[in-house]
Structures are given as structure tokens and as C-alpha cells.
Structure 1
Amino acid sequence: MNIEILKSLIDKSSIISFDVFDTLLKRDVYYPADVFDITERIYNTRHQDVPLHNFRSIRMEAEQKVREKTEREDVMLDWIYQEIPFDSITCKELKQLECETEKEVSVCNYPIKEIYDYAVWKGKTVIAVSEMYLPKIFIHELLENAGYNAIERLYVSSEAGKMKKTGTLFRQVIRDYGIKPHSILHIGDAKRSDWIVPRLLGMRSYRIKTHYGNTSYFTLPAQAGLNERSFYSFINNHLPPFPNHRLGFETLGPVLWGLCAWIHGFVQEKKIKRVLFLARDGQIMEKVYREMYPNDEIQYVYVSRRALTVPLLHLKKSWKDVVGLIPQATHVELHALMKRLGLDVNDYIGTIEKVGLKRDDVIAFDKLMEDSRYKSLYQHLKPFIDENSRKEFQACATYFEGLNLQGTECIVDLGWKGTIQKALETLLPLYGLDVQLEALYLGISLDVSNAHGYIYSPGDMSKMPCVRGALGLMETLFSSNHGTLIKYGFDGLVLDKFEYNGSLSTRRDYQTISQIQEGALLFVRTFRKNMLSDIINVDVALAFEGLKRLSVCPKRSDLAKLGNMAFFDTEVVPLAKPLKQDYYSISNLKYSFSHSHWKLGYLKRLFRIPLPYLAMYKFLRRLYVKDVW
């Protein structure tokens, strides 16, 4: 659609005529007949003892029979339902449900609304001409609900008994206004009815597409069913105008909706009274869950790997046991290791150098346990480690006792390896808290009966590479608005400084993340108000579709914007940004790839051409699993 051409045509015309459905209005369904399937689903939820089957076919056959019987050019909705072979009470209810469904799924087509507003602003006479079986008063209500309040006349084929495709309805318009046909511009999506016929009558006409693909990542599968078609249409019709909000609406919003619906279903089935969302990745999940289920009891709980493992260190008798508490990584930097041990590296430089190490030393994780220097360092520092650990053990006890944990508690986190869950299951019994945990994650590789993953878990790991190949992207999108918990203090929580409050660049990064999350929340609020949220089944594959495609095959502009973002781990690195030297050195390439936290994005940015990046990532993972995983 060329807006400038359309505006110039409007300037040359006196009357601007719009088609209604798929022009002024869009439906949150892909095919018009999908309305009949939704009508059937609503009816069957109310009449589970006597459900309908194949109502779509029955409804379409009834309309065809009425058209064959009548001499009028178009038919009315009442006539169609008189032909449906059900009792009058059932037909009355179905007709009412069909109208309610039409009302719920009909929304403003915003690109055309801009054209309509321009015509109104230019003082043109605006009319609407619809080829539809619905009553005129009903269509008028739909238009007003969508913000079209300046339409002078509405022509509807069912009441006029005339059709656009035969030209008779347009001839009535010409007679009513008594002007030359070329003074009228008609805008619509149907090739014959809205484009060819008006021109044959001497009118101006402009044809728009029936289906506009507004989405960047959410695609419609070839064999899409009602659930997929309706969900796609909803997203396509409701995308906000701003790029970052659109990205969140289309990718993060659906997966958060599906995830929280799954959590709610789990706690309802297990009769768990409270849901505990763990900091920091659980913050956006907690916000969405609160939007969706405001009556559920939920709580945001501050935890971190460091805050939960340091209190346990004084209970460990050997270096091997201590290493077992440290979250696995490809490499471990000494200053980061000291944090994990609860100490500040700068306070023990002399001891570090005494055992033959330096502050900035790095060691492969799989060599950490056997390295004699690190063993010696631990032995020298053990009294200090244990003293600090005992203090933090008591402060940690105070915090968790204040949560009033009891019975079965459900914890929710982003996931991956279940480090927090294992730490809690070790700590809580030591505090005399008899609590059983059920842990729910976006994805989890921990193979225990009380750890459950939404996208992947040990029972089904098929989608794991799409997540693990974009781990940093996932964690970035789920970022909170506060720093990491360092430790539990007797005077309150001790939080690290918020990393995004640093440079101008990182503040811009967080602004982008916030806007993406706002878009996700907008999706949840909008979809929750839509009848489709109660009718269609949003399964894992459907909810994950947009975010999966962003992870695996991002648009170039999104890859640059997100790939340049700083990712905060033991070191600060861009999410996915190859360096110039990566093209000339295998060792540099291997190092950069292994340190990238969005490996799928890194590969696409490195090669810059369409390639099977997911397959390449899987191959590299098998080839260099210790180095790149």
C-alpha cells in the first residue's frame, strides 16, 4: 500500500468509499469461516453434554443453500440460520454466539485508519460499502467500536439486496449522491468487487492486500490449525508501533503467557498455595503472572548462586567438596572464584602470590580441582572462608525463616542446571524447615522428579539447542531492574550495584530491554482481554515460535542492536559481536565463539549470509563440547 498515492487520490475525489471487512476492520482470525469454528468451541464449553461437530461445514452449507434459493443478490443472517438443521433454541444461541464472536475478533485496521483519518481531515464525505450477511446496525456498531465515527452512510448488501461484485450496490451509491462516478474513490481488498467493478462504472478504486504480514518472527505454518491461525492473526493485528515494543509483543510476550499459564495449571493441579519467583530472572515472570492471575498468592524471593552457596562453605571439609558447589563454567577467573568463596580478592593478594597465582589468572574449570596452587590457596584461606560462611549462614537463616515456608512450595526461575534449587534443598533442612520444593523453569537439564521445564527438560530436550545457543539473549530479555544479591545481611539484603547504571551505552541497553519487556506486558494485557485467550490452546510450540526464531534467525537490525549489548558474567562482553581478528585467526575465532553468550547470533553475524546456523551450532557443540558449551 502506497500511502502517498492513496492520499493524492483522496485529494482528487469528493467521496471516499471504504470496504469494511479486511479494510476498515481486521479480524483476529485468518479465514472468515474461522469465526464459525470459534463459535462452535464457545458453544461446546457451555454444552459439554451435547457438543456440536463440524459446525463450520453446516454453517457454510446453510448459507450456500439460502443463496441458491433466493432471487435477491445477497442474503441475511436470519435466513441462513433458518436453513440450519437444529432446533430453534439452538439456532438462536448459535446466531447470538456468532455475532458475539464477530464483535470480539473485529478490530481496527490501523494502517487504513490513517487513510480514513486523512480523508476526514480533508473534509471529504466518507462512506462504507460492505458485501456482508450481517445486519447493518451490527456492522455500524463494529465500526464505531473501532473508532470510525465519521462515516456518513453505510451500505450493506444483505439489507440492500444488492452486491458490489455485480455493480448494483455501487450504482445505488452513485444515484444517492447524484455525482459523477469519477468523483468517488473506493478502497478495498477484493480484486473484483473492490477494484475492477468500481473502475468499470467509472469510479476511482485502489486495492489493498487482504493479508498484511506485520510480524517479523511469528510465522504461520503451512498446515496451521485454528489455534495457530488465530494466534498469528491476533499478534499480526495488535502489534504496537514502536520497534522495541513490537519485538517484545511478538517474541517475549507469547512465551511469558504460555509459561505463566503452565505454572498456574501446575500449582492448581498440585494444590500448591503459593508461587515463589526467584530473583533476578523471575521478576518479569512475576509481573506477568500477577497480571494473569491476580488472585493467586505469589512472592518475589531474593536469591543468587553466591548468596546461597557461601553459607554452605563452612560445612565442606575438602577442596573437592568446595569445587562441587561452584557453578560450572568453561573457564574460571581467580577474582570471580574468590567472590564465590565469599572473599574479596584484593584483601588476599599476598597469599595469592605466595602460592604462585596472580589476581587475574584464569583456569579451565575441569582443571580447577586438581591444580595444586588452587588447593594450596584454599588451605591458606579456609579459616577466613569458614568464618565468613558461618556469619552468612545465620543471616541467610533469618531471611528464609521470615518467608514462612511450609509444606510444598513452588519456586520459579529461568533455569538451565538447577544450581539454586540444589542449594535451597541443602540449606532449608539445615534451618529446620520441613519444605518440599517443586521447581518450574523455562528450561532445565537437571534430571530429578521435582524439576520441570516448560520448553525443555530431560524428558524432551529437542528444543534445548534453540535456548542454549541463545542463553545470553534469554537472560538479557529476562533482566530485572536491580543488582544481583551479594548476600543476606542481618540489617537487610546486600545488593550489588545495578550493572546497567554504568556507562551511557549500558543505560541505553537497559532502556531497550525495558521497552521489550513493556511490549511483552502489553501483549499479555491485550491478549487477556481478548476472547481468544479462553478459546484457543497456546501450546509450547506456539508460544515459543517468535522467541525461537529471534534466537535462531534474527533480523539483521535486531541482531546488531541486541548483539552489541553488554552481557555481564565473570567478564563483560557483547552478546554476539565477532571481532575483525576472528576472520584471520582460528584461535581468536574459537576464543570469541566460546565466550559469546548468544552463539547462534554470533555465527549469523560472523558469516552474514543465510546458512543453517542451528545445525552448525549443534555440530560445533558436538565437536568442541567442553570449549563452546
Structure 2
Amino acid sequence: MDAPPSPAPARPSLLARLREPLEAAEAVSFDVFDTLFMRLIAAPEDVFDLVGAQFGLKHFRRHRIAAQAQAFRVMRARGRREIDLDGIYACLPDLGVPAEALKRAEWAAELAVLRLNPEVHAVLLRAQALGKTCILTSDMYLPEAFFEALCARAGITVDRLFVSSAAQATKRDDGALFTLAAEALGLEPGRILHLGDNPASDIARGAERGLATFHYAPDLGPAPATPDLAHAIVAGVARFQAVQPGRSPWWRIGFSAGGPATHALVAWLRARTEEDRIDLLLFLARDGFTAHRLWPGDAVPSLYFKASRVLLVLAGITERTFEAQIPFLLSGAASVADIFARIGVERPDDAVLRDLGFSPETRYTRKRHAAFAALMRAMRWRILQVCRECRRGLHAACLQAGLRDGMRLGLVDVGWKGSTQAAFVDFVRDVFDVRVKGYYLCLHKARHGLEMEALISAGTHRAAIRRDLYDNRVVAELLFSAPHASVTGARLAPDGGVVFAEDPGRGADPRLPEIAAEIDAGIREGVATLRALLAEIRVDLPVPALTAPLLALARDPTRDQAETLGSIYNFDSWGSSTLFRSYAARLDPREAARGDSWPAGMRALAAAPPP
């Protein structure tokens, strides 16, 4: 399989594309909704569901839409050109809640979900720096006072507001609002540049009235299917990444898919660990890196614990268990050189290897398993020396973490079968009398004898969905990673501290630390955006809604997402090698039938020789 292409280069920024039109204009007009401001919901009508949820009115959305339609009929009968909020609520039937209270709630909900669009805001700032007159031009039933409050809340100023409900002139019907604005400013229409998202009301009507226009069309992706308000909120927040200028594809994936899922994980962990009376919560490296950074200071005491399955297993290997662990030492192996490098054992001289029938490049295969197992036995004393060093270092790390007899510990890991938890329990049982519970993003199979539960479980998702996430687990593992290499060793330092050994892999994608840092930054910004919104609207978001973007990324990524994720190679340091590159990708049969050679989804590791 050919190496997947790198993600396509980003197109020029909005500000760069508008440089010449801005210079030529005397005034700049901004459409408001879906241009200068974005809603953190999937559709404008979702605001009505927020109002209905606040007052327990299950069908408020339907009544509110019907009232707006009736308000248009009244408007036309009275010879007016636009509706307003008072007119809409005058048409609303009695729902048991005063119409004035509902109207105030809608106003507040609209303000709560609206966010200044960063890339269009940059245009506003540039226009103001150039001394241009800047105005807002909006077809909207809300009054001018709403737009004044919106600008004040966002911390921006504009020179004039032109709102259809107050002006009784619109963009959408005949563009009269544009002419009104030009006359009020004392400018020829051609000296005004208008930015808007609607190809008819903003662009066609604006051009008909003589304005210079620019069609703002951010790539928001396909309109998400939102079965309820919770999914609509999460989808709206996830799409907000599309209007963040200068952000990398990795940041965007972290914001949209990792942000909501990490928010869910942290909230769930807090509730579960408090109920379970956990004394210390250990966020295991690397899966717990970002979640630990977001852990509340007043929650259960926590620690980012630099331990991995590899380190725990190595620390647990003794003379007695060595033979049973040979399959682990050879698991995912590519060559003799790779095996010794990842364990941290100095490789035997080439002459010694030749005497044993090997070379550093000898490939591991199932047919050669017995010979490789014999090589492990021949190097037994060196391997056990590394294991003893790991055991001492890990024991010191546990003491420094504050482990003591009688504690109830929690372990945070991404998943999938509890092997890391089992290795931790095997290690600590010989030195500490503690109880251990594992907390996971998702479990594919629960391990008998271990106390464990997962955020994504039978109580939240069907088995088929959980299985798909496991099959595409590289996506979740990438989102729950860290900007440092895998921790595979530990040793005592002369000063009594612990030095952890990290394995960057062999032939690993050199971008991995930067990618993880970008994803981490995107997740933390996504969580901050979501938390700020929820603090205002106070809607409970269940696990299925919060994990929907992550599951969509794993189960059915867009082509851009597949190309971005699929460009990563040798992500798993333990199984990496300079002899090949492993890409997380699958060839979709439908695309193969069309002669398309690039995978459409993330399904399995596909190996290709390095270029």
C-alpha cells in the first residue's frame, strides 16, 4: 500500500482573501448571524428548544415556529415589510407561561449561544484599523437593543446598526436595507463591502443594490443529525472549530471530537470517584494526560502517573515469571534490533548474534517464534537486569505518589480490556495492601477479577457501537495521548528520585509530539468553550451526546479527517520499526471500486515499506 498523502495545505485566510476589497472600500457591512457571530447549536430553531426546556414546555419549538409563520401573515395583511419579536409572541397561544417570560428567555438564550466568529472578527478589526466605517446589517426580528447587548457582551463596537425589524426594510426581499444603509452613510453603494453567508439575501440582493459583496462560506462540514437538544448543543460546539483561523487539523479534531468526550470523562470520573470514595486517582501515562490537566482542584486527589502497560509488565517480570512473559517480549516485534531497543537492553554484538543464527535485521515471524524465544532465553540475565531496575524505580515512584496500605486507588486509562490495570495490580499486590478500581473511556471486554467500569458502556451505547470504537481504537488512543513518548522504563536516580525512560519508537512519525500537543490544546479549548456555554444555559448533556463526535470520527470520518488521521505512521512505539510504516487506515470497497486508492475510514493498521 502506498503511503497516504499528508493533509492538503490550508487555503489562504479570510483576512488574506479580503485584503484588496478592504483597501478599496470606504465602509464594511457585516451580516450578523452565521457571519460575524456563530451559534453554538446545530440549527437556529434549537434556541426554541432551550426555551422550552427551561419552562418544561415539550412542544414549545412547534408553537414558536407556528407563531412566527402567523406573524408573517399579519405583517403582510398590515402592509409591513418585516416582523418583530413582539409580533411573534402576540401570535403565540397560551402555553401556561406568560408570553413576556418566554420572550425574555428567548432573548437570553440567543445571547448565550452566540459567539464572536474569530476569523470574521479579524476582518472587523482590520477594517477598523484602516479607518473604515463598520456597520452590522441583519434581517432579524430581534430589536436593535438586542444587537447592542450582543456587541457589548462580545466587547466590540461598530458605527451603525441596520436591523430589518426596526428599519422595516430587508435584505432578503429586495435589498432595500442595503440602500437604506448607503443613504444613511452618505456613500455610493459601490463604496460599501458587504460580507455575508447567504448567497441570495447577502450576495445577490447586495450586488443588485450596487454593493461590493463577499460570500462568506466557512467549511462547517455536513449538517449534523441531531435527535435532541443535547446532541444539537454538542454538534454546534464541535462545529465552532471550523471558524478558528490558523488552527491545525489536529487542533480541530481535538476541539470537535476530543473536547466533548473529555468533558464527559472528567465529569463522570468526578462523580464516580467521589461515590467510590477513592483516596487517590492515578491518570496513567499517556492516556490520562489531558484529562488530568482538566481535573478540578477540589475533586479527589489525583496524580499524572508515568506508568504504562509495558513498564508495569517489565517491572513484574522475575526469574519465576520470565518464561511466561516471552510472548509479551516478542509481541508486535519486527526485528532483533527492534526487540532489544524497545526493552531497553543493550543488543549483543553482531558476532554473538551470528553465532546464535541472527543478525540485527532478522525479521520476526511466527515460523521463527521458537528461535526468537530461544534468543530471549539466551539474553535472560540482561533482560531480568532491566526488569529489576524497572521494579525498583516503579516502587520508588509509588512511594513518591503517596501509596500506602489501606488506600483505595483509581486508575484512569482509555481502555480496552484492562491489561494495564491487571499489570498494575500484579505489581502492587506484593508491596502494598491497596484496592484498585479502573476507570475507562470504553471497555471492549471486562477482565474477570478486576473492579472496573467505563464511560461508554452497555448503559449508554449499543454493543455494535462499542465494538466499532474498539475496532477503530487508534482514533481514541490518538485523542487520549500526550506530547511525550511512551514510558517504558524507570530507574532510581542517585539522588533518590526516579528517572523514567521513554521510547520514541523506531521509524516513528516525527510529528507525533507536536500532533499530541495540538490535539491537547484543541481539547482544552473545546472543553472551555463547552463549559462556558453550559454555565449559562444549564442543560444536562448525557454521555451519548457528548461522545457522538468522537464516535463519528472513529466510525465514519469525513474524507479530510481520514486523510489527516491516516497520514500518521508508527503511532504505537512498541510495535514500530524502521522496516515498515503502519498507517491507521482501511480501504473502503466503494472507493476502491471507483479506482480511488485512498482509504475513507480508520479501520485497521495497514503496513507499507518506508519510502
Q: TM-score, normalised by structure 1?
A: 0.74
1:125-204 mapped onto 2 (5 Å cutoff): 125-149=133-157, 151-164=158-171, 165=173, 169-170=177-178, 172-173=180-181, 175-177=183-185, 181-190=189-198, 193-198=201-206, 202-204=209-211
Which secondary structure does the structure 2 equivalent of 1:436 belong to?
strand
1:267-316 CA-to-partner distances (Å, cap 9, x unmatched) read 355454542111233223322x32x6763422112323443234433362
Distance 1:148 1:510 in 2: 37
The Cα of 1:54 is off from its aligned counterpart by 0.9
Which one of 303, 307, 329 corresponds to residue 303 of structure 1? 307
2:524 maps to 1:526 = no
Say which one has the larger Rg. Answer: 1
Which secondary structure does the structure 2 equivalent of 1:307 belong to?
helix
Aligned to 1:544: 551
2:437 maps to 1:430 = no
1:342-397 CA-to-partner distances (Å, cap 9, x unmatched) read 864449986x77766666655446874xx37845963x666777787667656644
Distance 1:357 1:74 in 2: 84
Distance 1:14 1:480 in 2: 47
Aligned length: 577
Are the aligned partners of 2:282 and 2:303 in contact in 1 as well (CA < 8 Å)?
Answer: yes
Higher mean C-alpha deviation, range 276-285 or range 448-457 = 448-457
2:586 maps to 1:600 = yes
Aligned to 2:70: 65
Are the aligned partners of 2:308 and 2:486 in contact in 1 as well (CA < 8 Å)?
Answer: no
Which one of 329, 334, 339 corresponds to residue 331 of structure 2? 329
Please state which structure has a larger fraction of its residues in helix: 1
Distance 1:75 1:394 in 2: 75
User: Structure 1 residues 447, 180: closer, same or farther in 2, change over 3 A?
Assistant: same
Are the aligned partners of 2:444 and 2:470 in contact in 1 as well (CA < 8 Å)?
Answer: no
Percent identity of the aligned residues?
21
User: Structure 1 residues 171, 405: closer, same or farther in 2, change over 3 A?
Assistant: farther
Aligned to 1:576: none
The Cα of 1:136 is off from its aligned counterpart by 1.1
2:467 maps to 1:494 = no
The Cα of 1:139 is off from its aligned counterpart by 0.7
1:156-211 CA-to-partner distances (Å, cap 9, x unmatched) read 233344444366645544554455555555443445544455555x43253635x6
Are the aligned partners of 2:438 and 2:452 in contact in 1 as well (CA < 8 Å)?
Answer: yes
Are the aligned partners of 2:556 and 2:601 in contact in 1 as well (CA < 8 Å)?
Answer: no
Larger relative contact order (Cα-Cα within 8 Å, sequence gap ≥ 6):
2
1:313-346 CA-to-partner distances (Å, cap 9, x unmatched) read 3362673x3436x267244755666689886444
User: Structure 1 residues 274, 39: closer, same or farther in 2, change over 3 A?
Assistant: farther
Q: Which stretches in structure 1 are left out of the alignment for 5+ residues?
A: 45-50, 574-590, 625-629
Are the aligned partners of 2:289 and 2:304 in contact in 1 as well (CA < 8 Å)?
Answer: yes
1:433-444 mapped onto 2 (5 Å cutoff): 433-442=433-442, 444=444
1:450-496 CA-to-partner distances (Å, cap 9, x unmatched) read 34455689983545456545639935971343662413538332322
Aligned to 2:8: none
Aligned to 1:478: 481
The Cα of 1:535 is off from its aligned counterpart by 4.9
Which secondary structure does the structure 2 equivalent of 1:32 belong to?
coil
Distance 1:125 1:172 in 2: 15
Q: Which stretches in structure 2 are left out of the alignment for 5+ residues?
A: 1-12
Aligned to 1:419: 419
Distance 1:347 1:8 in 2: 66
The Cα of 1:68 is off from its aligned counterpart by 3.6
Aligned to 2:109: 101
Which secondary structure does the structure 2 equivalent of 1:309 belong to?
helix
Distance 1:602 1:489 in 2: 49
The Cα of 1:135 is off from its aligned counterpart by 2.4
Which one of 24, 49, 56 corresponds to residue 37 of structure 1? 49
Are the aligned partners of 1:465 and 1:614 in contact in 2 as well (CA < 8 Å)?
Answer: no
Aligned to 1:510: 513
Higher mean C-alpha deviation, range 386-395 or range 63-72 = 386-395
Distance 1:146 1:465 in 2: 41
Aligned to 2:245: 241
Aligned to 1:450: 451
1:276-355 mapped onto 2 (5 Å cutoff): 276-287=282-293, 289-290=294-295, 295-314=299-318, 316=320, 319=323, 321-323=324-326, 326=328, 329-331=331-333, 333-334=335-336, 344-346=346-348
Partner letter of residue 596 of structure 1?
S
User: Structure 1 residues 269, 23: closer, same or farther in 2, change over 3 A?
Assistant: same
